[in-house]
Amino acid sequence: MNVAVNREDKSPDIILLLVTMILVTVGTAMIYSSSSIIALERFKDGQYFLKKQILFVFIGMVSMVLMTKIPYTQLKKFAYPGLVLSFILLALLFIPHVGLRRGGATRWLNMGFFSFQVSEMVKIAMVVFLAHLLSRKASQLKLFTRGVLIPTAITSGLIALILLEPDFGTAVIIATIMFLMLCLAGSKIRHLLILAAAFILIGALLIWYKGYRLARLTAFLDPWKDAGNTGFQIIQSLLSFGSGGAFGVGIGDGMQKLFYLPEPHTDFILAIIAEESGFIGVAIVIVMFILFALRGFIISLKAPDLFGTLLAAGLTMVIALESFINIAGVMGIIPLKGLALPFLSYGGTSFVMSMTAVGILLNISTQRV
C-alpha cells in the first residue's frame, strides 16, 4: 500500500513528544536524587551520575532530532547491514578484554573511553530488519517456511547470542516483539501458535537449566523465604513502595537509596520514585508510559505503508515491554529481570537508543494518513 502524503502538511505527534520530555525530565531529576550518595561514596562527586546522564540526554536528543529529519523509508537501506552488524557486535562480546563482564554477564562492548551495551542497539536493528522483511514478503506470510520459519530462524540467531551473555530478559523481549510483529503482519494463527508453544517450551527449559533463574522465580513467589539473598532486592523495593504512601517522603529524602536498595539509579529507580513521590508519582509515570504506548500504536495504525506500520509497532513495543517488565518487576508482580526503565533509568546506550526510537516514531507520524 503506497499512499501519497504531503509531508509538509503534517506535524510530528506532539503528545508522544511531550510524554517523552516529561519522562526524560523526571528521570534526570530522580537519577540525581537516587545516585548522589552512591556517587559521593564511589567517586567523591555527588553529581557524577547526573553529569554523565546530562551528556546522554544531549546525545539522545541529537539522535532523536536526526531521526525526525531522515524519512523513515530510508531505514530500509540499513535493514540488512544493521542485522549483520548486530551479529558481529554480539560475537565481539565473547572476545576477552573486548567484551566487559559486569554483574555476571558480558553485555557491554569496550570502546576505550566508554562502554556500549550491544543488545540495546540490536533491539532497534531487529525491528527495522523484521519490518523490512515482513513488508517485502507480505504476499508470502501465509506460508510457514517463508512467512514464519525464515524470520524466526534469523531472529533466533540473535537471541541465541544474547542468551550466551547471558541476558534472558532481552531475549524474551526480542522473541515477544518478533511474535507480535508476525501477528500484525498477517501470519497464520496456526503457525503463530506453533511458534509460541516452541518458545514457551524453550523458555521453561532455560529457566529450569539455570539455577539462578529458577531462584528468581522462587524469590518472586516468596521473597521472605530467602530475605538475605535471592529475596533481598524485591523486599527492599517493596519497602520503598510501602514507605512512600500517597505523596512520598519528599524528593531527596528517601532512605532506601542509602545502600539498602542495590543500584537505585538504574533498575530500581521506580522504587525510589515511589518512596520519594508516593503513589501519585508512580501513577504519573505509569500513565505516561500508557500514553506513550497508545500514541505509538496510533502512529502505527495511521502509517501510510506496511513497513511504517510494522516499524512503528515494533519500536513502540520495545519501549512498552521494557517499561512493563521493569515496573511489574520492582512492584513484585512478576520476577525481576534486570531491565532498565526507559527514559528514567541511568544508562547511556539504553537512553540513546530509546530516544532514537522516539525520533523514528515522530518521523512516521509526519507521514500519517
pLDDT digits (tens, 9 = 90+) for 82-101: 999 999 999 999 998 899 88
If pLDDT is split at 50, 70 and 90, which confidence band does 31 have?
very high
Flag the least confident range among 168-172, 295-299, 335-339: 335-339
Distance CA 279, CA 276 (A): 9
Distance CA 140, CA 147 (A): 6
**Mean pLDDT throughout 273-279?**
95
Contact 146/177 with Cβ under 8 angstroms?
Answer: no
* CA 107 from centre of chain: 14
**Mean pLDDT throughout 143-167?**
91
Please say if the pLDDT value at position 4 is more than 50.
no
More confident residue, 327 or 257: 327
Residue type for position 150: I
Beta bridge partners of 71: none
Contact 243/249 with Cβ under 8 angstroms?
Answer: yes
Residue type for position 29: A
Query: Which ranges in the chain belong to alpha helices (H)?
Result: 14-43, 48-69, 79-92, 118-136, 144, 150-163, 168-185, 189-209, 211-221, 232-244, 269-302, 306-330, 348-365
Please give the pLDDT value at position 211.
Answer: 65
Please say if the pLDDT value at position 8 is more than 70.
no
pLDDT digits (tens, 9 = 90+) for 341-368: 999 999 899 999 999 999 999 999 999 7
- What is the strand order of the sheet 99-102 is part of? 99-102, 105-110, 115-117
| Cα 224 to Cα 214, 229, 232, 238, 293, distances in angstroms | 16, 10, 8, 11, 34
pLDDT digits (tens, 9 = 90+) for 216-235: 777 777 888 877 777 888 89
Helix axis angle for 269-302 and 306-330, nearest 10°, is 160
Nearest to 335 by CA among 242, 225, 221: 221
**Domains in the chain: boundaries:** 7-365
Nearest to 122 by CA among 66, 81, 83, 153: 83
pLDDT digits (tens, 9 = 90+) for 183-194: 999 889 999 999
- Average pLDDT along the chain: 90
Helix axis angle for 168-185 and 118-136, nearest 10°, is 20
* CA 214 from centre of chain: 23
Q: What is the DSSP letter of 263?
A: S
How many other CB atoms are there within 10 angstroms of residue 253's CB atom?
Answer: 10
More confident residue, 276 or 369: 276
Please say if the pLDDT value at position 2 is more than 50.
no
Q: What angle do CA 206, 207, 210 make, to 5 degrees?
A: 80
Distance, first Cα to last Cα, the chain: 12
Please give the pLDDT value at position 5.
Answer: 43
Contact 343/327 with Cβ under 8 angstroms?
Answer: no
Please give the pLDDT value at position 227.
Answer: 76
Please say if the pLDDT value at position 1 is more than 70.
no
**Mean pLDDT throughout 113-121?**
88
Contact 259/339 with Cβ under 8 angstroms?
Answer: no
Contact 163/207 with Cβ under 8 angstroms?
Answer: no
Q: Could you give the percent of the chain with pLDDT greater than 90?
A: 68
